[in-house]
Structure 1
Amino acid sequence: MPFDESHVDEETLALLALGEPAGTQTERAHVASCPRCTQELDGLREVVGLARDAGPDVLVAPPDVVWERITDELGLTRTGERTTDEPAPPVASLDARRRRPTGGGRPWAWVAGAAAAGVLIGGTGAWVVLRGEDAPTVIATATLEPLPGWDASGTAEVETTSDGARVLVVDLGDTEPSADGFREVWLLTPDVSGLISVGTLEGTSGRFDLPDGLDLAEFSVVDVSEERFDGDPAHSGDSIVRGPLGV
C-alpha cells in the first residue's frame, strides 16, 4: 500500500513496534485513534514477537552496512570522529531527515531483523542498540488482570541494564486507550496504602525508568489506571488492569 502523508510514516511505526518511544505525541495519538495505523502497528508487533522468539541465543556483530548507515547519518568516520566541523544535528532535525521507504509495503523484514539482531538505526535521532552482553536482564514479571468494568489484560516486567538501571516495561496488547482520557502506570503496595506514578502510557505499550531508591519489594504491584484531563495528579480510582510482580 503506498505511503499516505495523512498517516504515520513506516519507520515510526516500525520503531514503535520494537518498543521504542518513537514519533511525536501527535503521531502516537494518531496511531492510537487510526484503525489503519493501529492495524499496521499490531502486525509489526507480531513480527517482532516472532523474530525475538526465534532469535539465536548467541548473537553476532552486525554487518558492515549497518555501521555505514550509522556513520552516514551522523557524518562520522568509522573511528567516531565527525567528518565536518558542523555541530551534530539536534534530534528534531534527524527526525525530519529520515527517508521514507519508496516501496509499496511495510518494512516487515527490517523489523524482524532488528528484533532478532537487536540493532536499531534512526528513530528519535541516530543511535544503535546491540543485544549481547549488555542486554537487559528481566528480574520480575507480572500478569496484568482486568479490574471490574474493564475487558483488558497485559503484562509487565522489570529489566535491569548493564549499568544497574531498572526499567518497567508494560504491554497491554491490543487494548486501546479511550478517546476522552489517558492511561497512567503506577506501582502500588500490596494493600494499596501507598502508590507511585511512573508515567503515562501512550499507545498500548511503554517503558518507564524507575528511581534508584524505589523498593520493589514494597511497591510490588503494577497498576494501569484510566485518567481524565482534569489537572488532578492523584489516582482516579479507576484501574484498568493490575498484577503483582514476581521473580
Structure 2
Amino acid sequence: MTTHPDPERLAALATGDTPDADLAAHLAGCGDCSSDLEALRDLTGRLAGLEPVAWAEPPATVQAAVLAAARADTPAPRPRRWLLVAAAAVVGLVAGVLGGRLLWPVPVQPPTEIVLASTRLDTLDTGVQEGTATLVQTAGGAVELRVATIPVSAGDGYLEVWLINTDGKRMVSVGVLSNGTSGAFPVARGLIDAGYLIVDISREGLDDKPQHSGDSVVRGKLSL
C-alpha cells in the first residue's frame, strides 16, 4: 500500500520546507500528491499577498473542526480527496503567519479617552491644593478641560474658569463652574498648542465686565 504524506507535511512544503529524498521521490511518482502540493503552493501565494492587518491566532479547536468537517463531507469513492481540503485548512493556519498575519481578525477595541495633561489647583496666597484640572482627549477626538475642586463659595457672583497663556498677558474664559465643585469644558486644541496652559478659577461679579476680576481662587499650570 502506498503511504502518502500527511496534510501537515504537504503544508510545510507549500510554505518553503525542503522535502527529503524519499518524499521527493514520492512526489515525483504520485500525481495526486504533486497536484495537491501545487494547489497548496498557489493558496499560500495568495495568502501572502493579503494586506497586513491586526490578527490573532484562532483557538486550537478550529483546526480540528475544519478537519472533521472535511472528513465528514468527503464522498466514500474518493477517500484521499479530503487531504486537499484538510491541507488547505492547515495552510490557512500556517501560511497565515507569513508577514505577521493570521486569518482571524482581532476584535477592534472601541477608542478610549486619553489624558493629555493635568495639574493640581492651589490657592495663590497659601499654596494649598484645593482641586485638580485635567486635559482629556475624548473617545470622539474632542479636547475637554475637566476641573474638580472642594466646594468653593462664589460670594455674590459666580465662579469662572480661565486658561491663561504662559506669557502672563493673555487669557480666555472657557466656562462657568456653575455648581462650585466640578465641570467639563470643551477646549480648542489650538489654544493649548498656543501656550494657554494655566488653569485659573476666579470669582466674578454680576456685572457687565467680561474681563477677569483679579480675584483668583485657585490656579495651576498644565504639564504636557
Q: TM-score interval w.r.t. the shorter chain?
A: 0.3 to 0.5
- Which is higher, the Rg of structure 1 or of structure 2? 2
Q: What's the TM-score, normalizing by structure 2?
A: 0.47
More strand by share: 2
TM-score where L is the length of structure 1? 0.43
- Greater helix percent: which structure? 2
